[in-house]
Structure 1
Amino acid sequence: MQLLTGLIEHFGYTVLFMSLMLELIALPLPGEFLMGYAGVLVFQGKMNWTVSILIAGTGSCTGMTLSYLIGHKLGAPFFYKHGHRIHFGPERLEKTSSWFKRHGNKLLIIAYFIPGIRHVTGYFSGITRLRFSTYSIYAFTGAFIWTSTFISLGKLLGPQWEQFHTSIKKYLLLGSIFLLIIFTMGYLLKTYKLKIKVLLLLGLGKGAQRFQSLRRLRFLIGAITVIFLTFVIIMGSLIENYLNNEFKQFDDLVMTLIPLIFNEKWGVWMKYFGMFSSVKALISLVVFSVIWILIRGTEKRIESSFLLIIVIGGEIYEEGIRRLFHHLHPVHALLPKYVLYPFPSEQTLTAFVLYGFSAYLLIRHLKKGAFNILIIIMTGITIMMVGLSRIYFLQQSPSDVVAGYVFGGVWLSLNILILEVFRFSHKLGNMPDFEAGE
């Protein structure tokens, strides 16, 4: 490693370009470490930030292009001739190629952050005959996102880069795998939605003969189920890490990055962001949700009841789990005295639940796709900034904030799931027999 850092100090951009190109042809080079170290040199004024990203991105794109061309020229004939020996003959290759052409391009962006995966995606894209114009858009975009991330983090952290390098790789890897799991779940849900819907109908005791009616509602239930289970799995992991006191490394990393990204000039904005989790803001949000239900709700009684459950039950839920974890964990962070039970964060949990449910009600009764996307983006930014303000003012630890999001996600998705199942059952129960075949 010292040899490579010495080379990049002396030859700079040339080593950065060559190392990333060769790594993406599948040579065992520590590209992420070198990009981070290049960021440190940027911090020291020895390299230029913009030029470093351009050179690193171009090197990555060159490596991905070469691996694609090698796969395109040599890969397919090999599998057609010898693939049956590894149970990957022509028929399976065709099926895989067809899937990859439809969905694989989206994985190219995520793949860079997963060691081992990024080294083969170029070859596989070529083998499966993915159109180069499509391939290059996703692969080159992912290359510049990947290189920008590590060089920028190295620049931000400066001398502390080596201390947090392993942690950064770990959390970026976990985030990428999480996105990959979400993508896979979405694909499986879409591919096997027929079987899932039939099972849902059977579970509700209505049989599969009414399959064609309420199609969107059944698919929505399946999607929410996947989201709920994902939150539950993450929650289980967080609980284990909390009880084993394994959040220190994560908290130290985030608490180091936040002041570097958001300086003292952000103080006023952070105060405004924090106000979105105030009692007045949340009460106004609940009132707005009630008015929206009364104006646009299709089943006002059901939706109003669940809003009441989410608000009152959510308060009991968050207070109970915070007290429970306070007593289970013997070590507590040094926080202001008024933060009695920091894990999970009360503010981020409540904001996630109430803003999330309000956004869900808006989207549920609007038919404008572009406007719905805007609602999702704005809601996500609001919830994220609430948590960020808590970290910025040292009111809560990053792990407490993240846990608030996850525990809030569990409560929100569970209630929406029950609401939609209840709505589904209610509609089926009121459906006349002649609608069965519609």
Structure 2
Amino acid sequence: METLGAPGAGIAVALENLFPPLPSEVILPLAGFTSSKGEMVLWQVLLWTTLGSVVGALALYGLGALLGRERIHALAVKIPLLKSEDVTRTEEWFARHGRKTVFFGRMIPLFRSLISIPAGFERMPLPTFLLFTTFGSFIWNTVLVMAGYLLGEQWELVETYVGIVTWVVIGLVVLAIAVFVWKRVTENRRAPQG
């Protein structure tokens, strides 16, 4: 960001979409703080970070579209404890809630990147995907950039509080996975051997 300014913030956010371990909870508030010092222009930061989010999301959408339904089903059969019916249920769920999932998913730590893959897999219309991705990303980016801008030297507080929310989300996901595995193992034990 120091070298490239607002476009550098956009590149960092695009990479964060592709590699979720890169935390936007650090990148965006830092960009806001840098703007508060006058080293970057605030509206340009918001524009470039949203553009970066959309570019990263498009790459993952393309990956989902490239793999397609048949490959995903073929992979599901080879993964322990996963059944083809699980993928079918996911498809049905996304078909019912696709638009909302893409929009709100942009504001959920950890999932804001990955939600693009099922959107591509389900061939969500690209204009719709872009619209919901852009608005959801703009809201998320604006909240974190403005928090860094308003907090100034204390911009790192944003990372702390968003980090807590991230760990709660991860905990819920781990719990859901544990329940799923327990149910699947129990089903397999009860199934007649033959």
1:138 aligned counterpart, secondary structure: helix
Aligned to 1:79: 72
Say whether the 8 Å CA contact 2:25–2:159 is kept in structure 1: no
Give CA-to-partner distance per residue, 1:131-190, whole Å, 9 cap, x none.
32332222221110111111111111111112x12333146658x96xx9xxxxxxxxxx
Q: How many residues align?
A: 168
For 1:116-195, list aligned pairs within 5 A: 116-162=110-156, 164-170=157-163, 173=166
Shift of 1:38: 0.7
1:17 aligns with 2:13: no
Query: Cα gap change, 1:128/1:63 in structure 2, threshold over 3 Å: closer, same or farther?
Result: same
For 1:247-258, list aligned pairs within 5 A: none
Say whether the 8 Å CA contact 2:14–2:53 is kept in structure 1: yes
Give CA-to-partner distance per residue, 1:7-32, whole Å, 9 cap, x none.
x1222223211111121123532222
Counterpart amino acid of residue 154 in structure 1: G
Give CA-to-partner distance per residue, 1:332-389, whole Å, 9 cap, x none.
xxxxxxxxxxxxxxxxxxxxxxxxxxxxxxxxxxxxxxxxxxxxxxxxxxxxxxxxxx
Q: TM (normalized to structure 1)?
A: 0.36
Gaps of 5+ in 1: 1-7, 181-438
Aligned to 1:60: 53
Query: Cα gap change, 1:27/1:125 in structure 2, threshold over 3 Å: closer, same or farther?
Result: same
Aligned to 2:95: 101
Aligned to 1:44: 37
Gaps of 5+ in 2: 173-194
Shift of 1:50: 0.6
Give CA-to-partner distance per residue, 1:246-276, whole Å, 9 cap, x none.
xxxxxxxxxxxxxxxxxxxxxxxxxxxxxxx
Distance 2:161 2:102 in 1: 20
Counterpart amino acid of residue 53 in structure 1: L
Query: Cα gap change, 1:157/1:132 in structure 2, threshold over 3 Å: closer, same or farther?
Result: same
For 1:13-412, list aligned pairs within 5 A: 13-86=6-79, 87-89=82-84, 91-162=85-156, 164-170=157-163, 173=166
Aligned-pair identity (%): 28
Distance 2:5 2:18 in 1: 21
Q: TM (normalized to structure 2)?
A: 0.76
Shift of 1:106: 1.0
1:47 aligned counterpart, secondary structure: coil
Distance 1:13 1:106 in 2: 29
Say whether the 8 Å CA contact 1:40–1:159 is kept in structure 2: yes
Distance 1:110 1:167 in 2: 22
Give CA-to-partner distance per residue, 1:81-122, whole Å, 9 cap, x none.
232123242x44333212202213212233234332122111
Say whether the 8 Å CA contact 1:96–1:128 is kept in structure 2: no
Distance 2:124 2:92 in 1: 9
Give CA-to-partner distance per residue, 1:53-83, whole Å, 9 cap, x none.
0000000011111110111112423223232
Larger RCO of the pair (alpha carbons < 8 Å, separation 6+): 2
